[in-house]
Structure 1
């Protein structure tokens, strides 16, 4: 299992020099654009889609063979046939590159300023094993997918896609907290504004909810879209939508700022498991 595959796949010179011969795809179509483009470029000789429920989970139309077996049946049959799963040069190349990428990313995020990627990484790492990690849409879930590291014991991970992708996320996380498990919510500032009533209500009810909010004064995800490069569009007003909101005076909400990774870790340690809502 590779933690940093998506980062490696963005380096076409490396990824295309180490293409797969066989792809066995389990579950729904991959969401990674880098993975999809890599498979389109390298065109593996064999591309199997394991689809026991006959749902045709192949939005990319890259699969050459559809396997109507459960994952357990398929790999049990391979095991019984003496399938060799030993390490190969190809495997070692990818695992070595993955380990090196992990070291570089870790060094950059741990030693530099508190980037959004580091916030996602630390928020997940500091969620208790028995807790719930609730992640909002837009950039938080993407940063989590790209930069979170593997854990021996993992918290329950939940998410919710509202009417606009970000509506009702705070309320949903507060609902998860009613189970009695400590909940950490990773969310952006726009999504928080879209459910400010849910935030105030959670505080009013003394719900144990720790909210890690990335406040970059607007919708950061839109800067990655092609529209951001068009000079004839008022990008800030229509897409970025800076709000200038100050969150430190919300009734009942304990509000604190973290400027470094160490501060975020310390604040989370004092907030998680404490009665009341922390932001």
Structure 2
């Protein structure tokens, strides 16, 4: 079953992430570099744990449906019903997965039917040139302001002059996830505001993110298929999906958004170290 297969992949990735965390002290890095790398890896492990839990719950629901159908003597299994969505995901700024869908369609309309050729031949050179023009264009055209409801995952990690916080976009009414987790880039003032909210007990599981979406579609000539983990997600052969968000504000939602706050039980960013 597809869910079992994906859960197995996530379990393997989780084990690999834990092994990397354990192996870090042997890498010869400075203490500060080790600490930052540990935080990044732990955030990834948290993502995988949450995905594994979600898939496990979906498998359990499907197994219950199968058992109920068999007990009732039915010959059909009720279809799996995805979480309801209240937003319009036909717009690329609606969610991470809406952006991915838009970019996938753009690739198809631009490059479907164009011969990729083989490495080193003129056809491949021409294809790569056209693909890189497309990548530059979509990265430029889809840089845009966004307003998303997000769950914060893990701790704030200092990176350069700013900070990173792992987040996941959710539906503002139903709390359904709207794509894979992503990194938000925080300024010192945004980070301080989150710390103040946490200290006052006002930090919600779901926050309203306002900022600038920065697409980071990348060229990778060696990536022709999803592979076992599809990480980063692939748009099409040689084109990998990615983005960051430059965070302007990250605040609790308004009172009318209460349903999203109550849905799910996301972990609050760690209070120790650089967490809010």
Same fold by TM (over 0.5)? Answer: no
> Normalising by structure 1, what TM-score?
0.22
Structure richer in strand, relative to its length: 2
Structure having greater relative contact order (Cα 8 Å, sep ≥ 6): 2
